[in-house]
């Protein structure tokens, strides 16, 4: 990679980061990631924060919220490009909760 290419990529990345720094969805995901890192010193993401729920949410509330978010961020239905990461994050959070609650 040439120095010019690296500089262009760095500039582009800075523009992207500035553009998303005030996006409420991204801010919430960053918050969820920080909260996950604070719990017992474990690295990770708090799956309840990702879904926008409290840990006391019922199974039905978790499942309903998951379906709502998947409809919004699924790459085929979101209406915008670039939602693959968000879709994977929501799906991963749901799977983690499912595993914790021993759903089959």
Q: What is the pLDDT of residues 35-77, one digit of tens each?
A: 544 544 444 678 898 898 999 999 999 999 999 989 888 888 8
Which residues 6+ apart lie within 8 Å of 27 measured at CB?
21
Torsional class of 66: left (φ above 0), alpha (ψ -120 to 50), beta (otherwise): alpha
Q: What is the pLDDT of residue 77?
A: 84
Tokens standing for residue 21: 């720094």
Query: Residue 36: exposed, middle, or buried by beta-carbon count in 10 A (0-12, 13-18, 19+)?
Result: buried
Domains of the chain in sequence order: 24-100 (1.10.287.110)
More confident residue, 61 or 2: 61
Q: What is the pLDDT of residues 76-97, one digit of tens each?
A: 887 777 888 888 888 989 999 9
Give counts: helices (H), strands (E), the chain.
5, 0
Tell me the pTM.
0.60
Please give the mean pLDDT across all residues of the chain: 78
Query: Residue 62: exposed, middle, or buried by beta-carbon count in 10 A (0-12, 13-18, 19+)?
Result: buried
Residues for the chain: how many in total? Answer: 104
Contact 46, 36 (CB under 8 A): yes
Q: What is the pLDDT of residue 32?
A: 60
Q: What is the pLDDT of residue 57?
A: 95
């Amino acid at each position: 990679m040439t120095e010019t290419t690296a500089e262009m990529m760095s500039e582009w990345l800075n523009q992207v980061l500035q553009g998303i720094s005030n996006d409420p969805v991204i801010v919430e995901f960053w918050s969820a990631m920080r909260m996950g890192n604070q719990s017992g010193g474990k690295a990770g993401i708090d799956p309840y924060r990702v879904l926008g729920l409290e840990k006391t949410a019922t199974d039905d509330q978790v499942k309903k919220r998951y379906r709502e978010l998947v409809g919004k961020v699924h790459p085929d239905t979101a209406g915008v490009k670039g939602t693959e990461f968000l879709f994977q994050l929501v799906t991963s959070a749901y799977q983690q909760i499912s595993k914790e609650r021993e759903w089959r």
